[in-house]
Structure 1
Amino acid sequence: MSGLGISAIYFLDQKGKIIISRDYRGEVSSSITEKFQRKVLELDERLIKPVFTEKDITYMWIRVNNIYIVSVAKGNPNVALVFTFLYKMKDVFCDYFKELEDESLRDNFVITYELLDEMMDHGYPQITEVKVLKEYIKTEANKMQKMTSEQQKKENQKISQAMTNIVSWRPEGIKHSKNEIFLDVIEKLNLLVSANGNVLRSEILGTVRMKSFLSGMPELKLGLNDKALFDMTGRTSKGKLVEMEDIKFHQCVRLNRFEAERNITFIPPDGEFELMTYRLDTQVKPLIWVECAVENFTRSKIEYVVKAKTQFKSKSIANNVEIYVSVPTDVDSPVFKSNVGTVKYVPDQNCMVWCIKQFPGRKEYHMRAQFGFPSIEAEERQKYSRVPIQVKFEIPYFTVSGIQVRYLKIQEKSGYQALPWVRYITQNGDYQIRMQ
């Protein structure tokens, strides 16, 4: 943290009064809360800042429900790291208390102080994984359960292992009756297309999620059709290679190995977690193309002809397709006719929604809609035409970028065999087509 740690953390109520605080270094006085009130609580919302400096003290804060979590540090701390810790701490408290609020903090102040001490030491983040923290900070600890000396010895040993283990996100001794790992590659397509079909913006945001049910301390190695890896090793590939940007990994991935060799190696947390995210700036033709023509636009009615067609392979199917088409604010008496799916008018959103449960590839469907107008014309009736058509969908067993899991190797000293299950999904992101 640029050589400087967090001096103290304060949990404040809506009036700026301290609910709970933890001073890690004895560098600041409790009067800092008065400065926070002056800089945040008493100012207009448009003027407040999540980071500000008063003399040599830097204030960094977030708001959760009815409380403020404020961290202070002397000098010039790593602000991004501090905010990462604050949000991670919020997640831990929510996991323990279900809701992080004024009342839940006051009801659980003992556990709160224990968590604050275990998650940070002398102002530096330590253990932030809930599963590891729950190994030795249990909500049931208030029940005064008596332990035998042998049980106490085992418990102390488990705590010691968790504290000294460099794999802080995974405790020792995990056992599963059936060793399995599930991997989901989920891509969201952000797309903006002009009415004549020109792609104005195209972006793919990818996420690799895992559900790990593996015993012991397994070492995993994931191989993708990563262009940079093949370029680095001088290898060629008959299949498609993808060039990923802005790659971000879970803390379990060995970054030095990835930077040196482009190998994704890691010891996974137990259960569900997000292994990595990535982005691709690439021109992608619309997977679902929608055209909307307006006919018979008179003072008494307006008619739409909507055509939708899929532009991906016929073996794939888009599920739960929803096409949102804007209509004038003052329409009434809707009448719909379509050769597939259902259409509904959503007056509070000033649009009609065409819902198609399953839309196979290389197919084209049509829909007609008619609306009436009241006798008095509304202002800005033409405004609807400036709102783009929005499309929602999900295509299983398909990735728009062409990314593939080439292998997922699992090694564990006990030598068990585990079968990885891989699933691909493409979803809409901000997917818009401008109307004619």
Structure 2
Amino acid sequence: GVSGKLEQLAHGLSEKVNLGEKKTMTSAAANKPIQVSGDKKDNTIFVDVIERLTVVLDSRGSMTHSYINGCITLKSFMTGSSEMRLGLSDGVSVTSLGISGKGASAVNTLVMEDMNLHECVRWDENKKEAVFTFFAPDGEFNLLSYRIKSPFRAPISVVPFLETKPRANSLDYVLRVRGEFPADKTAAHVSLVFALPHWANSVAVETASATAAAQGGDKGAVPVAGKAQFDRKTQVVHWQIAKIQGGTEVIVRCKIVLASNMDATACSLEDFGVVRVNFELPMHLLSGVSIKFLDFLYASGKTPNKWIRYVTQANSYVARWS
């Protein structure tokens, strides 16, 4: 049976994939430390497919610069040594290896321009398939890494607005943040950090669910979206949001009172600093890559347990208005 440690990890199970004994797990579960000593091993192998995004957004929420750094990392705690074979989905194209995606899935899969393989990997260049054979060393290692430069849709958009109030000599700086991914997915650990201009004399920060507001709720019924704090010493706002569901929108509103000698109508978005966004999107990859199979060749004894997770993370994800 599965050991007590694995049962604790399985508590974060999100769904079961119908590929032999392969299972999927949440990113939080996969990050839990695993203590293995001596001969006491869980006979388990974890597979992480992680894509880290570098994105620059403009004031319309469009990307002006973007690429994906992806890697497949294995954490091997098997009781024996077995040759393994891992295959990626049929739609995967890798230009550096001469692999061309095929089938309907290729339409929804981005092209990998570069791929680097671990020294333990054997790949048959004559077959031109995304199938890799290897003996997994103990512990954690990167089986392969890749980069994608072809266009993709930003998973989280940030659109700014300025609402000036000349009579009150004040303005509202508003950021609308939307999850541009399927409704059945949820971004976690979302945070935005941005600076306000030095001339912001007095600042009050409010957050709300724009989706709830659009559905007709009155002001008292619209839920607050996370927690935003303004540091008066640094003029920086830190906005923490527990999660954003795909297709929903949240907003932060910074109510700024200007100095008496300033004109609110003369202010522009270019006066405001870069917005730095951080988030994690479990069980969703923008590339469309997936693991088709993970087989054990010539394995002796009990078949090891296999766990897999897919995660998209913000690496350098910023929005700038100038």
What is the CA-CA distance between 1:245 and the residue it aligns to?
2.2
Conserved 8 A contact 1:328-1:382: no
Selected match of 2:244 from 345, 356, 359: 359
What is the CA-CA distance between 1:419 and the residue it aligns to?
2.4
Conserved 8 A contact 1:389-1:435: no
Selected match of 1:430 from 283, 307, 316: 316
What is the CA-CA distance between 1:432 and the residue it aligns to?
2.1
Which residue in the other structure is 2:228 paired with? Answer: 343
> Unaligned regions of 5+ residues in structure 2, if any?
1-37, 209-224
Rate the CA distance shift 1:303–1:235 in 2: closer, same or farther, 3 A: closer
Selected match of 2:287 from 401, 405, 411: 401
Give the TM-score, by structure 2 length.
Answer: 0.70
Selected match of 2:84 from 220, 244, 252: 220
Which residue in the other structure is 1:286 paired with? Answer: 154
Q: How far apart, CA to CA, are the structure 2 residues paired with 1:273 and 1:384?
A: 44
Conserved 8 A contact 2:276-2:318: yes
Which residue in the other structure is 1:239 paired with? Answer: 105
How many correspondences in the alignment? 257
Q: How far apart, CA to CA, are the structure 2 residues paired with 1:205 and 1:218?
A: 29
Which residue in the other structure is 1:204 paired with? Answer: 68
Conserved 8 A contact 2:94-2:115: no
Q: How far apart, CA to CA, are the structure 1 residues paired with 2:93 and 2:85?
A: 17
SS of 2:178 mapped into structure 1: strand
Deviations 1:155-175 (A, max 9, x none): xxxxxxxxxxxxxxxxxxx85
Deviations 1:355-379 (A, max 9, x none): 21110000012222113345688xx
Rate the CA distance shift 1:364–1:181 in 2: closer, same or farther, 3 A: same
Q: How far apart, CA to CA, are the structure 2 residues paired with 1:388 and 1:399?
A: 26
Conserved 8 A contact 2:170-2:258: yes
Deviations 1:43-69 (A, max 9, x none): xxxxxxxxxxxxxxxxxxxxxxxxxxx
Selected match of 1:322 from 191, 199, 202: 191
Residue 249 in structure 1 maps to residue 117 in structure 2: yes
Which residue in the other structure is 1:184 paired with? Answer: 48
> Unaligned regions of 5+ residues in structure 1, if any?
1-173
Which residue in the other structure is 1:414 paired with? Answer: 300
Residue 259 in structure 1 maps to residue 145 in structure 2: no
Deviations 1:69-122 (A, max 9, x none): xxxxxxxxxxxxxxxxxxxxxxxxxxxxxxxxxxxxxxxxxxxxxxxxxxxxxx
Conserved 8 A contact 1:326-1:385: no
Conserved 8 A contact 1:175-1:214: no
What is the CA-CA distance between 1:389 and the residue it aligns to?
2.3
Rate the CA distance shift 1:242–1:305 in 2: closer, same or farther, 3 A: closer
Q: How far apart, CA to CA, are the structure 1 residues paired with 2:124 and 2:132?
A: 6
Conserved 8 A contact 1:192-1:201: yes
SS of 1:216 mapped into structure 2: coil
Rate the CA distance shift 1:177–1:353 in 2: closer, same or farther, 3 A: closer
What is the CA-CA distance between 1:235 and the residue it aligns to?
8.4
What is the CA-CA distance between 1:434 and the residue it aligns to?
2.7
What letter corresponds to residue 300 of structure 2 in structure 1?
Answer: S
What letter corresponds to residue 326 of structure 1 in structure 2?
Answer: A
SS of 2:277 mapped into structure 1: strand
Identical residues among aligned pairs (%): 28
Q: How far apart, CA to CA, are the structure 2 residues paired with 1:349 and 1:409?
A: 54
Q: Which structure has greater helix proportion?
A: 1
Q: How far apart, CA to CA, are the structure 2 residues paired with 1:232 and 1:415?
A: 37
SS of 2:181 mapped into structure 1: coil
Rate the CA distance shift 1:228–1:295 in 2: closer, same or farther, 3 A: closer
What is the CA-CA distance between 1:334 and the residue it aligns to?
2.3
What letter corresponds to residue 163 of structure 2 in structure 1?
Answer: E
What letter corresponds to residue 146 of structure 2 in structure 1?
Answer: Y
Which has the larger displacement, 323-332 or 279-288?
323-332
